[in-house]
Amino acid sequence: MSFPRKTHWTKDVTPELDGKEVVLAGWVWDIRDLGNIKFILLRDREGIIQLTIKKGVTPESVLSLTQSLGREDAIVVRGGIVKASKIARAGGVEVFPSEVYVVSKSKALPIDIWGGSVETDLDTRLKYRSVDLKRPINSLIFRVESEVVRAIREALYNRGFIEVFTPKIIVTSTEGGAELFAVQYFERVAYLAQSPQLYKEELTASLERVFEIAPPAYRAEKHNTNYHLNEFISVDIEEAFANYVDVMDILEDVIINVYDRVNKVFSNELAKYGVEIKVPKKPFRRVTYDEALDILGRRGGLKINWGDDVPKNGLEILSEEFGEPFFIIHFPTDLRAFYTKPPLDSDPKISESFDLVMGGLEIASGSSRIHVKEQLIEALRKRGA
RNA sequence: GCCCCGGUGGUAUAGCCCGGUCUAGUAUGGCGGCCUGUCGAGCCGCAGACCCGGGUUCAAAUCCCGGCCGGGGGGCCA
């Protein structure tokens, strides 16, 4: 079957186009049939618009065709735009179809995607994931994710970084810590990369500033929380001729650009779900590890031994204290990866390192790297490598 | 792996403690009908379910045992 090419997203059909003709395409979200007048809500990726079918106005062929339409049928519609003050939905615009093409009929859906009184269990939703993704909130999540990644790239390209892609099937651990997934690599065993870290460091020796949005990184840990995954998208950057303070500065730009872009593009849609974006301001607060422990001990009633990592509830207390995103800097050297550079102020127990914390979560970490070969070898020896 | 909780139409649930009144209730979705301005549309009608196996009992959705599946907590981990 042939049908005309889609000319507009539903969100682009605005009252200014009153009297114009458009071709829309999408899925039947809902039908309200009042007999001689019928309203079809058409959904595409960008939103929902109302099609109005009216006896005496709509052509007979369209009238009879729309009799048999059902929810989630895929259709293409040619029609005229009419500015309508009475309708609350779809920006006060309705479309009177002159032609309707049914691309594909839908069966009854196995789950509720309309967000009424029935909330489907996650497990059932995942079973019918392609249907579940029709829910507007899910489509929004994917579109925001895409914008976030675009904003990260934008900020980093502006800072002179280039994007690289490192191997994901590797022979051994690149960073230590988390367990690796083993995979059969022909006649031998290989592992899925947990981090692009060491590749990144090698790349700076020629390309200076690189980043990778790893698709994805793998950690073989049997954790079962909503903030730990076995497979996740990581953003890694590495810069030559720079230290941890320079990197925090870049990170601030990246974070602010992400919030700013998402706010500009999605503030209206997010408001429907009660989400309001606050764009953080530079510079982010920087507290030292020692200060953080002190604050937690005095105001949070949380005692942490020097040398231990700040636990999750500690980060939550500090987030409450500071509100905005903040850095914890100068972690104990032994707490960080072997390539992290000590000493700070000639104290080898303290490193040039930072964590970025937002909303009680550690969302990024970084450090100056050791650039003297002998020190690197020494650091590896200390860890028993 | 450990502790706790649960599995009833497509979906989400009530009923289970205290077995019979369950011919299993409700909402939503589906199907059919009515309505020329709906927007969580409304109204009328129809179809649709007790996870599997065993046991107790005159009688099991309901009680007991086993299995399978799912949820929550905590542990490890970023």
Q: Kindly provide the ipTM of the predicted complex, given to two decimals.
A: 0.83
CA of A171 to C1' of B58 (A): 70
Would you state the pLDDT for residue A324? 85
CA of A120 to C1' of B60 (A): 30
Mean pLDDT of A325-336: 93
Instruction: Note the pLDDT tens digit of each residue in A310-319.
Output: 887 888 888 8
B chain positions with any atom within 7 Å of a protein CB? 1, 10-13, 27-31, 34-42, 70-71, 73-78
- Cβ-based neighbours of A200, under 8 Å, separated by 6 or more: A164, A166, A210, A212, A236, A237, A238
Residue A123 CB lies within 7 Å of the nucleic strand B: yes
Please answer whether residues A40 and A73 qualify as being in contact, where contact means their C-beta atoms are separated by less than 8 angstroms.
no
Instruction: Note the pLDDT tens digit of each residue in A197-252.
Output: 888 989 999 999 999 997 667 777 665 555 667 778 889 999 999 999 999 999 99
Nearest nucleotide to A107 (CA to C1') is B30
A179, pLDDT greater than 80: no
pLDDT-derived band at A173, boundaries 50, 70, 90: low
pLDDT-derived band at A322, boundaries 50, 70, 90: confident
Would you state the pLDDT for residue A263? 96
Residue A35 CB lies within 7 Å of the nucleic strand B: yes
Query: What is the rounded distance in angstroms from the CA atom of residue A318 to the CA atom of residue A300?
Result: 8
Residues of chain A with pLDDT > 90, as a percent, come to 55
A126, pLDDT greater than 60: yes
Would you state the pLDDT for residue A299? 77
Mean pLDDT of A322-345: 89
A91, pLDDT greater than 70: no
Mean pLDDT of A163-181: 76
Mean pLDDT of A271-290: 91
CA of A62 to C1' of B68 (A): 51
Nearest nucleotide to A39 (CA to C1') is B38
A175, pLDDT greater than 70: no
Please answer whether residues A289 and A328 qualify as being in contact, where contact means their C-beta atoms are separated by less than 8 angstroms.
yes
Nearest nucleotide to A110 (CA to C1') is B10
Would you state the pLDDT for residue A238? 95
What's the DSSP call for residue A16? G
Residue A272 CB lies within 7 Å of the nucleic strand B: no
Closest C-alpha among A235, A310, A243, A247 to residue A284: A247
Would you state the pLDDT for residue A59? 94
A3, pLDDT greater than 80: yes
Instruction: Note the pLDDT tens digit of each residue in A33-76.
Output: 999 999 999 999 999 999 999 999 999 999 999 999 999 999 99
A90, pLDDT greater than 60: no
The CATH architecture that domain A284-385 belongs to is: 2-Layer Sandwich (3.30)
Cα A186 to Cα A169, A189, A190, A216, distances in angstroms: 12, 8, 9, 22
Query: What is the rounded distance in angstroms from the CA atom of residue A142 to the CA atom of residue A43?
Result: 16
Which residues on neighbouring strands pair with residue A47, listed in sequence order? A44
Q: Do domains A10-104 and A284-385 have the same CATH topology?
A: no
CA of A109 to C1' of B10 (A): 7
Q: Which of residues 46-75 of A touch strand B (CB under 7 A)?
A: 50, 52, 54-56, 70-71
A78, pLDDT greater than 80: yes
Read off the amino acid at residue A199.
Y
Q: Which residues of A14-43 are buried (b: 16+ CB within 10 A; e: fewer)?
A: eeebeeeebbbbbbbbebeeeeeebbbbbb
Q: Report angle CA A190, A196, A202 to the nearest 5 degrees.
A: 105
Residue A124 CB lies within 7 Å of the nucleic strand B: yes
Q: Which of residues 160-189 of A touch strand B (CB under 7 A)?
A: 177-178
Would you state the pLDDT for residue A221? 67
pLDDT-derived band at A146, boundaries 50, 70, 90: very high
Nearest nucleotide to A82 (CA to C1') is B37
Residue A1 CB lies within 7 Å of the nucleic strand B: no
CA of A104 to C1' of B78 (A): 45
CA of A223 to C1' of B73 (A): 13
Please answer whether residues A20 and A65 qualify as being in contact, where contact means their C-beta atoms are separated by less than 8 angstroms.
no
Would you state the pLDDT for residue A176? 53
**CATH 3.40.50.261 for the A10-104 domain, yes or no:** no
Please answer whether residues A379 and A370 qualify as being in contact, where contact means their C-beta atoms are separated by less than 8 angstroms.
yes
Residue A384 CB lies within 7 Å of the nucleic strand B: no
Mean pLDDT check: name the lowest of A1-5, A116-120, A135-139, A171-175.
Answer: A171-175
Nearest nucleotide to A38 (CA to C1') is B38
Closest CA to the C1' of B30: that residue is A108
Residue A230 CB lies within 7 Å of the nucleic strand B: yes
Please answer whether residues A52 and A37 qualify as being in contact, where contact means their C-beta atoms are separated by less than 8 angstroms.
yes
Domain boundaries, chain A: 10-104, 284-385
Read off the amino acid at residue A271.
A
Nearest nucleotide to A221 (CA to C1') is B77
Average model confidence (pLDDT) across chain A:
88
Of the CA atoms within 13 Å of residue A231, those in its CB half-sphere come to: 5
Would you state the pLDDT for residue A224? 54
Mean pLDDT check: name the lowest of A87-91, A146-150, A160-164.
Answer: A87-91
